[in-house]
Amino acid sequence: MTASSGVDSKSVLCGIAPVEAVLFDIDGTVCDSDPIHHAAFREMLQEIGFNGGVPITEDYYIENIAGKHNDDVARLLFPDDFERGIKFTDDKEAMFRRLVGDKLKPVSGLDKVRKWVEDRGLKRAAVTNAPRPNAELMISILGLSDFFQAVILGNECEHAKPHPEPYLKGLEAIKASKEHTFIFEDSVSGIKAGVAAGMPVIALTTGNPEHILMEAKPSLIIKNYDDPKLWAVLEELDKKSGTSGA
């Protein structure tokens, strides 16, 4: 499937009816955390003189870091010293956790889509490349600890995103079928993982511009969970599934 932005996009999920489950990424998908990650990377890389001391730009962050597993980020930033790279990314995650308490906000419309999922009794899991302390902290701050029935982490799988394994493990954890499940994602690596796992992916432009997300072939691209395009798709899926909210 490829992304559609016109009126014909309403039917992009109809093939999975009746819907059984929804899988969510965390960073940039349920919360607008990318600006906090970018700020932490920018400050810490400048401190060690990376790029001649010139702060990394938002474009650099989007193209090279956003959505990637820390092992891959460590290899990119410190190609000759992987251990130093891992230490750096661990320290950066600790800085992120210090910053996140006051600044983390849910993506617009999250409560609305949460209610849609709960009202239909759908299974749900979080699938993320974030380390466990980050994932649990963000889920807690957002009040989603009781919402997610499982949390799957890339670094607890043999392969992280963009490999499909984390999403396939998410299905296993909640005993759902990929034929009746769809995914919310915001990064190229995450979309690729979902598509490779055989599920339609709805991509959010919270952290990445539409033209970059398009390369990973999501089924639909939306601005946030308030986007009318999303609700046209979910309404059509309800009709096809023969379901509606409580």
Q: Which residues contact 45 (CB under 8 A, 6 or more apart)?
A: 51, 55, 56, 77
**pLDDT tens profile 89-144:** 999 999 999 999 888 999 999 999 999 999 999 999 999 999 999 999 999 999 99
Of the chain, the percentage scoring pLDDT greater than 90 comes to 87
Strand order in the sheet with 201-204: 151-153, 123-128, 21-24, 181-185, 201-204, 220-222
Whether residue 118 contacts residue 166, with contact meaning beta carbons closer than 8 Å, is answered with: no
Q: How far apart are the first and last CA of the chain?
A: 31
Distance CA 201, CA 89 (A): 28
pLDDT confidence of residue 8: 57
The domain limits of the chain are: 7-32+106-241, 34-103
Distance CA 139, CA 148 (A): 9
The verdict on domain 7-32+106-241 having CATH code 2.40.10.500 is no
**Which residue in 27, 32, 72, 227 is the catalytic one?**
27
Whether residue 242 contacts residue 120, with contact meaning beta carbons closer than 8 Å, is answered with: no
Mean pLDDT of the chain: 93
* Catalytic site includes residue 25: yes
